């Protein structure tokens, strides 16, 4: 079973972040340019939230707010879910499914180590299953 540490070592520890004072427009533009669905919101050196495409749709667009004048801090999700690097991909999937979220931060105390998306987890779990299938097929051929 793959750990979050192994997944981050393979994926990378690259973290895209914004300030709560940035505009939602700038955040959404950056997500689009990077082809990602979320940005970590950092104030000083502290993680204070996460802004996602879903937050934009629900907290800006559907409320008729203007994205060039709305601040990230007014649209972001305050509750940020996180796991430690020893968590497994299956544990992460259970958290994401149970909480209906698409992103998890990887934290070690107050230190942000990375961010995982549901796509990262699905790719990892599919790779694990493919490896298991290959091993079983080899075992059957030998038998």
pTM: 0.84
Helix count and strand count (H, E) for the chain:
5, 6
Counting Cα atoms < 13 Å in the Cβ hemisphere of 110 gives 6
Mean pLDDT score of the chain, rounded to an integer? 91
Q: Over 70: is that where the pLDDT of 35 sits?
A: yes
Q: What is the pLDDT of residues 41-83, one digit of tens each?
A: 999 989 999 999 999 999 999 999 999 999 999 999 878 899 9
Segments of the chain assigned E as strands: 17-18, 38-43, 46-52, 82-83, 103-108, 111-117
Domains of the chain, CATH where assigned = 4-142 (3.10.580.10)
């Amino acid at each position: 079973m793959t750990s979050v540490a192994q997944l981050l070592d393979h994926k990378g520890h690259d973290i895209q972040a914004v300030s709560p004072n940035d505009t939602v427009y700038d955040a959404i533009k950056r997500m689009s340019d990077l082809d990602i669905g979320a940005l970590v919101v950092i104030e000083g050196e502290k993680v204070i939230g996460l802004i996602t495409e879903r937050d934009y749709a629900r907290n800006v667009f559907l409320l008729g707010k203007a994205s060039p004048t709305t601040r990230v801090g007014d649209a972001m999700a305050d509750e940020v879910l996180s796991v430690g690097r020893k968590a497994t991909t299956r544990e992460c999937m259970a958290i994401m499914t149970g909480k209906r979220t698409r992103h998890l931060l990887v934290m070690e105390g107050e230190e942000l180590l990375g961010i995982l998306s549901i796509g990262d987890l699905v790719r990892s779990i599919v790779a694990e299953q493919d490896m298991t299938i290959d091993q079983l097929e080899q075992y059957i051929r030998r038998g």
